[in-house]
Amino acid sequence: MLSLLALAALAFASPLPRAGYTFKESLPSAPNGWEQLSRAPGSHLLKLKIGLIQPRFGELEQALWEVSLPGSERYGMHLGKEEVEKLIRPHDESLELVDAWLVENGIPLSALSRSPAQDWITLTLPVSLAEELLDTEYHVFHHTTSGDYLVRTLGYSLPTHLHAHIDVVQPSTTFARLQPKRSSLHGDSIVLSSEAAIPPVPASCNHTITPACLKEIYNVGNYTASSTSGNILGIAGYLEQWANMNDTNWFYQVYLPQAAEQGYMFTVELINNGTNSQNESDAGGEANLDVQYAGGLSFPIPNIYYSTGGSPPYIPDDNTPQDTNEPYAEFLAYVLAKPDSELPRQLSTSYGDDEQSVPYSYAVRVCNEFAQLGARGVSVMFSSGDGGVGDGLGPNDQAYGPTTCYTNDGRNASSFLPAFPASCPYVTTVGGTYHEGPEWAVPFSGGGFSKYFSRPSYQSPTVDTYLAQHPQYLSLYQGLFNPSGRAYPDVSAQSNNFTLNRGGMWVLEAGTSASCPTFTGIVALVNDYLIAHGKPTLGFLNPWLYAVGHNAFNDITIGNNPGCLTNGFNATAGWDPVTGWGSPDFGKITSLLSLGS
């Protein structure tokens, strides 16, 4: 990937940096789907975030492996907030040099805000000053499909002596469009009925999914969790997706009466000017799906819905809004600042984008933030995506339109499209299944191999074995995927025809947006079991999962994940890049953990 960045820098059509500056990051052109319009108004405000180098991140990563790997002397001994912040704090020299640079450009230190570890600096400044600071030009870009607008640059420079001290400056070259992972193959939600016609729990879960179905399929039995153990399940929400409490209460009345009787309900925390409207017409299909199924499985464990603002990023006829379309950074800054006692033990996120739409430096930085959460004992789950290995189009689907599976590096070469943050090695990525007895891989289940992140040690033997046993993919898809990259998903769960209440109506939803809160709900129950038995919670799951945990999962061997006009990969015995290790069996997991594994 670094070679691609170097090529991009060479191709960046801009005057050479001014004296003392050199290119930090650049793109050869606007990514696919974006068109460059006019220069950005000089008065437009940017909320600029400067990420300073974290010189001891390698030590943090080593600690993450040690507290997450069964058999390690430190297994389960998660780090505290202060320990993590000490390991990611920049050198004093970095702080001094960056401060001096900002002051030299007329920015007083009093205008800055800093993260607790001082590894992020945030400041709000007009485009005109940002252009001078970064020796660049910002333009308005238009996304032709969605109609979104962004203020971005195709490249920026820094004083040469600061390259060793600054990781990333954003918003600059990030064109990611954070999207819910709800399957587009199914179109809009299917409306089942009004409130007057309440659907019963179906006799078969092959057609309609409810919490009772999931508890049956995943062997939860009559397990009852505690509401007072300190265990918290977190749900990340973005893009003004609002979780409606009235809808959720109605859902509980039908499918979890005990929760409704006890007044069980998620709480809400607002981040970066986030909102959570309770108007029925504003109820979000994604948000309601997340809270109703995370709560439906984890009851009575407290659930928190984090609503992070940051959309829309820019309105062309308004020259003064603040450009804050960096929701991951805002959310992570908020959560990482929490005391250890207030952190969720498990976190579900059903959003993501194509990996290539996120600049490499920014993707790495965000991924490293998830490593901090893992080191502090948080199990971080992400949906794997709903386009199979790319756009969800199989070899016979040309009639649905041209494939979008092309690189963004100026070559416009055919390529599978891994998803981010699903491709981050410090998160547990959840693919999709459907049917039961047995489960199949759902065709839209996102999966594949990262182009940004190399394969982590915890999964190398497993994935190497998979590729050795299926060498046909190396020749059939040569050049379309990176066989040495981080492979995903890690696990999977049901993701099709979920019954939920939205705006007072019963609807069906599909996507790995459903499988992620489902799996997270199961993890919450497992952590509850561990707490009740005086054991530490699982924290970062993957080292345990690949070492021993997979023995308690249901292997999925039927199905594939087409995309980019190919059949994608096949589900097969053992791990595969469609369903990972398969779906969880709560009873087997708790039995395994009771034996100390």
Alpha-carbon span 223 to 555, nearest angstrom: 23
Point out the catalytic residue in the list 290, 323, 330, 528: 290
Q: How far apart are CA 83 and CA 532, in angstroms?
A: 26
Asked whether 167 and 51 are in contact (CB, 8 A), the reply is yes
Token pair 């006019």 in the structure block, residue: 38
Instruction: Indicate the angle between helix axes 81-88 and 360-375, nearest 10 degrees.
Output: 150
In the set 85, 286, 323, 409, the catalytic residue is 286
Q: What's the CA gap between 117 and 110, in Å, rounded?
A: 17
Residue 323 marked in a binding site:
no
Residue 184: CB atoms within 10 Å? 15
Residue tagged active-site, from 513, 528, 583, 585: 513
Confirm whether residue 522 is marked as ligand binding: no
Strand ranges (E), 127-232: 139-143, 149-152, 155-159, 166-170, 179-180, 190-193
Number of helices (H) and strands (E) in the chain: give both, helices first: 16, 28
Based on the residue annotation, tell me whether 247 is a catalytic residue of this protein.
Answer: no
445, 579 contact by CB (below 8 A):
yes
Neighbours of 400 (CB within 10 A): 12
The Cα 30–Cα 396 span in angstroms is 30
> What is the 3 state secondary structure string of 567-581?
CCCECCCCCECCCEC
Check whether 263 is labelled as a binding-site residue. no
| 330 carries an active-site annotation | no
> Could you tell me which of 497, 513, 481 has the C-alpha nearest to residue 390?
481
**Quick check: is 409 catalytic?**
no
The helix or strand, by DSSP H or E, that contains position 431, with its residue range, turns out to be strand 428-434
For β-strands 267-271 and 428-434, DSSP reports them as unpaired
Q: CB 444: neighbour CB atoms within 10 A?
A: 28
Half-sphere exposure of 457 (CA within 13 A, CB side): 7
Omega before 31 within 30 of 0, i.e. cis: no
Ligand-binding annotation for 580, yes or no, is no
Query: Following DSSP, what letter does each residue of 498-529 receive, concatenated?
Result: EEEEETTEEEEE-SHHHHHHHHHHHHHHHHHH
Check if the beta carbon of residue 381 is closer than 8 Å to that of residue 427. yes
Q: Indicate the annotated binding residues for Ca(2+).
A: 555-556, 574, 576
- Cite the active site residues: 286, 290, 513
User: What residues form the annotated binding site?
Assistant: 555-556, 574, 576
